[in-house]
Structures are given as structure tokens and as C-alpha cells.
Amino acid sequence: MIIESGGDLLNDDAQALVNPVNTVGVMGKGLALQFKRAFPEVFDAYAKACAAGEVRPGRVFPVSLGEGRWVLNFPTKRHWRGKSRLQDIETGLDDLVRLAGELELTSIAVPPLGCGHGGLPWAQVRSLITEKLGGLPAEVRLYGPGTPGPPAGAARHRECRDGPSPRR
């Protein structure tokens, strides 16, 4: 089930938080930088995996936070200087579906993958996310770009219905 969410994704209590990353080991802007600051151990594992060539487009790199919680590093860009490719988002979502089953995830918080610094149009990305993740047994909490949030430290959720995304 897809749930429209707003607020700070990092404060979401989902079992897995999706972190949009590049494949060169840099978390220098946007949400990735926030993840780096919030979870330095995730950054360390990700940077080592990038140096070893283990982080590639289309492959989600999971890092355990313990107690059944995960950060799922999702390559949205090949290099931090480049733009995102819709094909990389699509293949990454396929891998996220595989991983969600493997890890038996019950809830996943997903940002607007490849939008923002990646330059992809939200309407296309949202459609792909809904198509690929909508059938998961997990609750998928979808954070759109620029969604106004509730007070600091909170997250809010609303079930998504078929049709266009509601305006806020």
C-alpha cells in the first residue's frame, strides 16, 4: 500500500529508510547529506562499498541499523555531478522490491528518487514508484518533493488513492 507522507523522512519510524545516493561515495547535498549526518556508520559502510565497486545503479545497498531497521542506499545518480536517469530509478525499484521481500520489510519510507538534484520530473518518478512498489505487502510511505511538513521531528501519513496526487 502506498501512503502519501510529509515531514522529515529521517524521523519516520518505518522499518527501512531509503537514502538517495550516487555511486562514487559522496553524500554532499540534499537528503543524502542529512543521512550522512544522522547515520555516520551508514556513510562509512557506503563509502567503503563504493570504493570496492559494490554500489551500482539498479542495486540497493542495505545497511542495518540494528533491531530490524535498515537504511537502503538507493543509487539515483552515477556521479554526484551528473543527473539521474529514469532507467536507473526503474531498475533500482525492481531491486528494492526484491530486497523488501528478502528482508521481510513491513514499512518503507521513500523520498522523491532522482528528483531535486537529480533533475527527474516527479510525475514520472511517482508513477514508477506507485507501479513498482504498490503491490508490496509492506506499507510504502512516499515523501514527495517539497511536501510541507508537520512540526519538527514529526512525520505524517495519508493513504494514496488512484489518480493524480492531491495538491497541498
Per-residue pLDDT of 123-150, as tens digits, reads 999 999 999 999 999 999 999 987 554 4
The number of distinct structural domains making up the chain is: 1
Per the structure, the complete domain to which residue 96 belongs is given by 2-159
> Is the pLDDT confidence value at 72 over 80?
yes
- Note whether residue 168 is domain-resident: no
CA distance 135 to 132: 7
Residue 118 lies in a domain: yes
Distance between CA 150 and CA 19 in Å, rounded? 21
Quickly count helices (H) and strands (E) in the chain: 4, 7
Identify whether 10 is part of a domain: yes
What lies within 8 Å, CB to CB, of 24 at 6+ separation is 50, 78, 79, 80
**Would you state the pLDDT for residue 147?**
59
**Is residue 166 included in any domain, yes or no?**
no
Catalytic sites, residue numbers: 77
Would you say residue 162 has pLDDT above 90?
no
Does residue 61 sit within a domain?
yes
Residues present in the chain in total: 168
Q: What is the mean pLDDT of the chain?
A: 88
With respect to residue 167, please indicate whether it lies within any of the assigned structural domains: no
The CATH number given to whatever domain includes residue 52 is 3.40.220.10
